Structure 1
Amino acid sequence: MSEITAYVDAAAIRSNIEYLQKVSQTNLMAVVKANAYGHGLAGVVSICTKAGIDWFGVATIDEAQKVKATAPEARVLAWLYQLDEEMIQCAIDSGIHLAIFNEQQVEFLSYLQTEQQITVHLHIDTGMSRGGLSPSEAVQTAQTISQNPKFNLEGVFTHLVSSEASNDEVVMGQLATFREIQTQIKKLGIEVPNFHLANSGGALNYDVSDFSFVRAGIALYGIDPSDKPNSNLKPAMKVSAPIIQLKQVDKGIGVGYNHTSKTEQDTTLALVPVGYADAIPRTASGKLTVWVNGEKRRTFGTISMDQFIIEAAAQDEIGDEVIIFGDPSLGHPTVCDLASAAGTISYEVLVRIGSRVQRKYLNL
Structure 2
Amino acid sequence: MFEPIKCTLTIDLSLIRANYRILSAMANQAILGAVVKANCYGLGAVKIATALYQEGCRDFFVATLDEAIELQESLGNNIAVTSNKLISNSTNIFVLSGVSNTDAKDFDQYKLIPVLNNLAQLQIWNQLASNKNTKLPAILHFNTGMHRLGIPHEEIEIIQQNPNLLNGLELLYIMSHLSTSTDADHIYNRQQLEKLKNYRQYFPEIKVSLANSSSIFLGADYHYDLIRPGAALYGINPTPRQPNPMQHVVSLTAPIIQLQSVLTGNAISYDMTFITKRDTIIATLPIGYADGYPRALSNRGKVYIAGHSAPIVGTISMDLMVVDVTDIPSEQIFLGQQVEIIGDYYTIDQLAEDAGTIAYEILTRLGKRYHRIYKTD
Q: Percentage identity across aligned positions?
A: 30
Instruction: Specify every segment of 5 or more residues in structure 1 that has no aligned partner in the other structure, as ranges.
Output: none
The yes-or-no answer on 1:285 pairing with 2:285 is: no
SS at match of 2:203: helix
CA distance 1:84–1:271, shift in 2 (3 Å): farther
**Structure 1 partner of 2:352:** 339
Distance 1:5 1:28 in 2: 31
Distance 1:116 1:278 in 2: 47
Q: How big is the shift at 1:242?
A: 0.8
Distance 1:136 1:236 in 2: 43
The yes-or-no answer on 1:44 pairing with 2:61 is: no
Distance 1:344 1:209 in 2: 27
Query: Which of 225, 230, 245 is 1:217 aligned to?
Result: 230
Distance 1:306 1:233 in 2: 31
296-305 or 8-17, larger mean C-alpha shift: 8-17
SS at match of 1:71: helix
**Structure 2 partner of 1:23:** 26
CA distance 1:144–1:30, shift in 2 (3 Å): farther
**Structure 2 partner of 1:125:** 143
Matched letter for residue 325 of structure 1: I
Q: How big is the shift at 1:340?
A: 1.6
Aligned length: 354
**Structure 1 partner of 2:169:** 151
The yes-or-no answer on 1:111 pairing with 2:114 is: no
The yes-or-no answer on 1:90 pairing with 2:106 is: yes
SS at match of 1:205: coil
Q: What is the correspondence of 1:1-364 to structure 2 with a 5 Å cutoff?
A: 3-25=6-28, 26-72=30-76, 73=89, 74-81=91-98, 83-85=100-102, 87-112=103-128, 113-114=131-132, 117-138=135-156, 140-141=158-159, 148-186=166-204, 191-192=205-206, 194-208=207-221, 211-312=224-325, 313=328, 314-315=330-331, 316-327=333-344, 332-364=345-377
Q: How big is the shift at 1:311?
A: 1.4
**Residues 260, 283 of structure 2: 8 Å contact kept:** yes
CA distance 1:102–1:31, shift in 2 (3 Å): same
Q: How big is the shift at 1:29?
A: 1.3
Distance 1:324 1:115 in 2: 56
Distance 2:5 2:170 in 1: 46
122-131 or 350-359, larger mean C-alpha shift: 350-359
SS at match of 2:26: helix
Distance 1:122 1:90 in 2: 19
SS at match of 1:216: coil
Matched letter for residue 211 of structure 2: A
SS at match of 1:16: helix
SS at match of 2:245: coil
Provide the alpha-carbon RMSD of the alignment. 2.1
Q: How big is the shift at 1:143?
A: 7.6
Matched letter for residue 106 of structure 1: L
SS at match of 1:219: helix
Q: How big is the shift at 1:168?
A: 2.0
**Structure 1 partner of 2:83:** none
Distance 1:265 1:218 in 2: 42
**Cα displacement string for residues 285-332 of structure 1 (whole angstroms, at most 9, x for unaligned residues):** 1110111122111111001111100112312111111111112xxxx1
Distance 2:311 2:300 in 1: 8
Distance 1:60 1:294 in 2: 41
CA distance 1:82–1:27, shift in 2 (3 Å): closer
Matched letter for residue 111 of structure 1: Q
Distance 1:77 1:171 in 2: 24
CA distance 1:45–1:76, shift in 2 (3 Å): same
CA distance 1:109–1:2, shift in 2 (3 Å): farther
**Residues 32, 217 of structure 1: 8 Å contact kept:** yes
Distance 1:239 1:356 in 2: 12
CA distance 1:360–1:139, shift in 2 (3 Å): farther
Matched letter for residue 191 of structure 2: G
CA distance 1:161–1:75, shift in 2 (3 Å): same
**Residues 75, 96 of structure 1: 8 Å contact kept:** yes
Q: How big is the shift at 1:226?
A: 4.8
**Structure 1 partner of 2:80:** none
TM-score calculated relative to the size of structure 1: 0.91
Q: How big is the shift at 1:115?
A: 6.4
Q: How big is the shift at 1:228?
A: 3.6
Q: How big is the shift at 1:268?
A: 1.6
Matched letter for residue 146 of structure 2: M
Q: How big is the shift at 1:139?
A: 6.1
334-343 or 17-26, larger mean C-alpha shift: 17-26
Matched letter for residue 71 of structure 1: L
SS at match of 2:172: strand
Instruction: Specify every segment of 5 or more residues in structure 2 that has no aligned partner in the other structure, as ranges.
Output: 77-88
SS at match of 1:7: strand
CA distance 1:68–1:208, shift in 2 (3 Å): farther
**Residues 24, 208 of structure 1: 8 Å contact kept:** no
Distance 2:285 2:7 in 1: 9
TM-score calculated relative to the size of structure 2: 0.88
